[in-house]
Chain A
Amino acid sequence: MDATSKDIPEPAGESANWTLRVRRYIDRLLPMDHLLPDRQPYYVGSWVYVFGVVTIAALVWVVVSGVVLSFMGPQWWHVSSLGRFFNSLHFWSVQLFFIFMVLHLWGQYFMASWRDGRAATWLIGVVIFGVSILTAFTGYLSQQNFDSQFIAINAKDAMNGAGIGAFFNVLNFGQMYGLHVMLLPIGVTFLVVWHIVMVRTRGVVKPIDPEGASKS
């Protein structure tokens, strides 16, 4: 038997169990044709809309190369040729991530994409930008070379000057490495997923002056 949820009659009324209420809420909030659309409005046919998805692609490479680096360790990524390749892959995918994130930011800024109830989507993007910078900084501190030592020695004064040196000790490699490979990547990934779901929920913002509309 190939019974699907459509074959089973749903209980009537709002007094049904909580899983049904949650499912109905999700169906109303984000139907599957919004989550995975096969068609988009004509104004989405521009390369500007590609910047966001390139950013996500770069993030995937960052995470994949980062997982390999964390598994193999500093001796591997500094000494062996394959380790140095993955070290470079991690570094350059981060460069692409930031470059295309900023290009995506420019595009969304000039089309004022916080309009029509999309303020939260914009603000989550702002937070992703901030958390990503923090992740990159802790990455520089996690290199395990003279560069990371130089950065840590200089950065500690900024942290102490800001009054957060006791909580955010850049000379503590274990803390910086833990933040870089665990907490901050989870934060970035969670926020990116949330950002995408919100974009899918609302759809892409209409142009400020759509073609053929509002001629005054």
Chain B
Amino acid sequence: MDSPTTYFHWGFILISLPNLLVIAGMVVLFAIALVAPFPHGGKDDGRN
């Protein structure tokens, strides 16, 4: 906990490992949300 974290440095991009993991997790979660089946998501002619 007291030691500094790992940083990645590509050109002008400098990002810590924890921040990179959070962003990667968000991208994965977003992709899952796009493809995962939604319960009770059948056809509905409700308001649009």
Interface residues of A (CB under 8 A from B): 33-34, 37, 39-42, 45-48, 50-51, 99, 102-103, 106-107, 203-204, 206
What is the 8 Å Cβ interface bit string for chain B, positions 28-39, against chain A (1 contact, 0 not)?
Answer: 011011101010
Taking a contact as CB atoms closer than 8 A, the residue among A40, A45, A103 that contacts B47 in the complex is A40
Q: How far is the CB of B40 from chain A (nearest CB, A)?
A: 7
Contacts of A106 in B (CB 8 A): 30
| Chain A to chain B contacts (Cβ below 8 Å), 9 pairs | A37-B46, A40-B46, A41-B44, A41-B48, A45-B38, A45-B41, A46-B41, A103-B33, A203-B47
* B44 A50 Cβ-Cβ under 8 A: no
Q: Which chain B residue has the least Cβ–Cβ distance from A51?
A: B33
- B1-48 with Cβ < 8 A to chain A: 22, 26, 29-30, 32-34, 36, 38, 40-48
State the main secondary structure of chain A at its contact with B. Answer: helix
User: Assuming A45-B42, A99-B22, what are 7 further A-B pairs, CB within 8 angstroms?
Assistant: A37-B47, A39-B44, A42-B45, A45-B40, A47-B38, A99-B26, A106-B30
Residues of B within 8 A of A102 (CB): 26
- C-alpha gap A45/B42 in the complex (Å): 7
- CB–CB B44/A103 < 8 A: no
Dominant secondary structure at the B interface: loop
Chain B residues near A45 (CB-CB < 8 A): 38, 40-42, 44
How many A-B pairs with Cβ below 8 Å?
A: 52
B41 partner residues in chain A, CB cutoff 8 A: 42, 45-46
Residues of A within 8 A of B47 (CB): 33-34, 37, 39-41, 203
CB nearest neighbor in B for A39:
B46
Inter-chain CA distance A13–B38, complex, in Å, is 48
**Residue ID in chain B nearest A46 by CB atoms:** B38
- The distance in angstroms between the C-alpha atoms of A110 and B42, with both chains bound, is 23
Enumerate chain B residues within 8 angstroms of A206, measured Cβ to Cβ. Answer: 48
Query: CA–CA, A37 to B22, complex, Å?
Result: 34
CA distance A15 to B45 in the complex (A): 39
- Beyond A99-B26, A206-B48, whether A46 also contacts B42 by CB under 8 A is no
**B34 contacts A48, CB within 8 Å?**
yes
Residue of A nearest to B41 (CB): A45
The 10 closest A-B pairs by CB, nearest first: A45-B41, A39-B46, A47-B33, A41-B48, A45-B38, A42-B44, A42-B43, A48-B33, A46-B38, A47-B36
